[in-house]
Amino acid sequence: MSTLEIVFLVIVLACILLSGYFSATETAFTAVNKIRLRAKAEDGDKGAKRVLKLAENYDRLLTTILIGNNVVNILASSLFTLLLIALIPNNEGLATTLSTVILTVVILIMGEITPKVLAKEFPEGFARFSAPVINVLAWILIPFTFLFGLWKKLLLKIFKHKEDNTITDDELKIMVEEAEHEGGINAQESDLIRSAIEFNDLEAKDILVPRVDMVAIDCNTPLEDVDKIFLETRYSRLPVYKDSIDNIIGILHEKDFIKQRLDGKFSLEKAAKPTVFVVSTTKISMVLQQLQKSKSHMAVVSGEFGDTVGIITMEDILEELVGEIWDEHDEVLSDITQISDTEYKVLGSTTVNDLCEYFDLGSIDSESATVGGWVIDMLGKVPDVGDELTYGNLQITVSKTEFRRITELKVVVLSETVDKEESNKE
């Protein structure tokens, strides 16, 4: 081989290496974790800042990589063809064919597949390695990237494409699941983040203590009876009403009750602190803000006609984030208790979402927040003990009622799934 042929061969090998470099760089910047990079950049990592800056201007980065990759591939193809023509004289057709076949296989393996597989496994490391060179090339190719930017704008105007880059709640949940699966966060942290994402979707009606379960006192109740109610219920706060529970005038704290009673001058109406009123459709995040602003721990939920629908406490809201909060006086009750392999006891106050999640039912379209309310809607009447319905693969039986509402249900998992449409008719 002549000196010129050796030079051609060295340039071709260099172009193949550069082709692999550009292919790996494209994959690395596509797969790199921008959130992790941003955290490292905020901690002062200069390499992370450089990579993040390039990744955030992806159009310019991609244009630089594609121009570089195509230039080295075309140059390698041209020089290798000339080299084979020189090595196989008087047969340009064979030389061209061999050049095409050999270089296609070599570039496919060494310039595409291998570097991209490796870069996919180590995206951040390779992105850090390639960032300085790509940064220089990006500045050199500014005229070309500018022209391609104008071309992109023209194409977008022609096709009138408007991409929605906002991240939805469902996408965030998937990201959290992936982080948990990859070991970045544990199950408890994952549950907390998911609860925070779903937090703003909940309304007061979803977590309130219904009117029928409320413990409230009339402003004319004898002090001895009030003391007895505090003792029996072990509540620290009680709503105070005048004439009717629909006319709540304040919230009585047990400490204020004891203090003023000891002073000898006591009036329930005067001792009750101002009440925070919200409607049933108020987001619980807004209820929390109102409670914090008023320094209260309880809000009264009013209906559209001004009637009292129920109450919601600070504890109820916080439990949506961190799960059930029990103290030493609470009677621990499980919403869903397994009795046997196929039989379960479900409290009527269990949320429909918890039922769906526990029995993997997908989602149930219901205006009622609790299972008891949903079953009443399905039955279409005031429930009686023994009433049954079938939904999916569940046979649901009313086992306990109180004041025309369901307090407990028996759920049996059937071996065969019953069509939902037929169960709804039942």
| pLDDT score at 417 | 46
| pLDDT score at 162 | 59
pLDDT (average), residues 344-362: 86
Res 64 pLDDT > 80: yes
Q: Tokens at residue 144, please? A: 């070309």
204-322 and 336-425 in the same fold? no
123 φψ region: left (φ > 0), alpha (ψ -120 to 50), beta (else): alpha
* Residue 332 pLDDT level (bands cut at 50, 70, 90): low
164 or 202, which is more confident? 202
The DSSP H or E segment spanning 308 is: strand 308-313
Res 49 pLDDT > 70: yes
What b/e sequence results for 222-246 when a residue is b if at least 16 CB atoms lie within 10 Å of its CB, and e otherwise? eeeebeebbeeeebebbbbbeeebe
Domain ranges in the chain?
A: 3-159, 169-199, 204-322, 336-425
In angstroms, the Cα distances linking 287 to 211, 248, 355 are: 18, 18, 25
Q: Which amino acid is at 22?
A: F
Calculate the average pLDDT of the chain: 84
| pLDDT score at 245 | 92
Tens of pLDDT, residues 395-417 = 999 998 887 788 899 999 987 54
Low-confidence winner among 26-35, 65-74, 75-84, 157-166 (lowest mean pLDDT): 157-166
Low-confidence winner among 34-43, 309-318, 326-335, 351-360 (lowest mean pLDDT): 326-335
What b/e sequence results for 146-157 when a residue is b if at least 16 CB atoms lie within 10 Å of its CB, and e otherwise? eebeeeeeeeee
Tell me the helix, strand and coil percentages in the chain, rounded to 5. 60, 15, 25
| pLDDT score at 418 | 43
Q: Tokens at residue 377, please? A: 């809607």
Low-confidence winner among 83-87, 325-329, 350-354 (lowest mean pLDDT): 325-329
* Residue 426 pLDDT level (bands cut at 50, 70, 90): very low
302 contacts 296 by C-beta, under 8 angstroms: no
Task: Pick 336-425's CATH classification: 3.30.465.10, 3.40.140.10, 3.40.50.670, 3.20.20.70.
Answer: 3.30.465.10
Low-confidence winner among 21-30, 81-90, 98-107, 390-399 (lowest mean pLDDT): 81-90
Q: What percent of the chain shows pLDDT beyond 70? A: 92
Tens of pLDDT, residues 228-270 = 998 888 888 999 999 899 999 999 998 888 887 777 667 788 8
Task: Pick 204-322's CATH classification: 3.30.70.270, 3.40.50.150, 3.10.580.10, 3.20.20.70.
Answer: 3.10.580.10
DSSP 8-state secondary structure symbol assigned to residue 112:
I
408 or 320, which is more confident? 408
Res 421 pLDDT > 50: no
| pLDDT score at 425 | 43
Low-confidence winner among 43-57, 79-93, 324-338 (lowest mean pLDDT): 324-338
In angstroms, the Cα distances linking 200 to 194, 204, 317, 409 are: 11, 11, 11, 30
In angstroms, the Cα distances linking 229 to 220, 234, 257, 297, 392 are: 14, 8, 12, 19, 43
408 contacts 347 by C-beta, under 8 angstroms: yes
The DSSP H or E segment spanning 61 is: helix 58-87
61 contacts 29 by C-beta, under 8 angstroms: yes
Q: Which amino acid is at 203?
A: E
